[in-house]
Amino acid sequence: MGNALFHQLLTPIGNSTGLSFLIGIIPIAVVLVLLGVVRAPAWISALSGLVVGLIEAVVGWQMPFHLAMSSVGEGMVFAVW
């Protein structure tokens, strides 16, 4: 794979900080709504937030898919540790 360096875009959605912020909080809102309103189990809420966050990272922030999956893997190892 080589040295893959991802330069994060700070305002990827409409070149607007506000819009990027509103889109960026959607995964957090998904987790909170599923936990507090729907009363879904924590693992389903967390997994749903992860999926929404991955979609946003790849589509909205233009993060390469392999780097997004690598980040998920590192997060899982850190959580287990």
Question: Cα–Cα–Cα angle for 11, 65, 4, nearest 5°?
Answer: 85
The confidence band for 8, taking pLDDT boundaries of 50, 70 and 90, is: confident
Residue 17 above 90 pLDDT? Answer: yes
pLDDT (tens digit, 9 = 90+) per residue, 21-79?
A: 999 999 999 999 999 999 999 999 999 999 999 999 999 999 999 999 999 999 999 99
**Burial zone of 65 (CB within 10 Å; 0-12 exposed, 13-18 middle, 19+ buried):** exposed
Helices then strands, each counted (H, E), the chain: 4, 0
Q: Which helix (H) or strand (E) holds 74?
A: helix 65-80
Contact status, residue 54 vs residue 72, Cβ threshold 8 Å: yes
Confidence of residue 7 (pLDDT cuts 50, 70, 90): confident
Give the pTM. Answer: 0.84
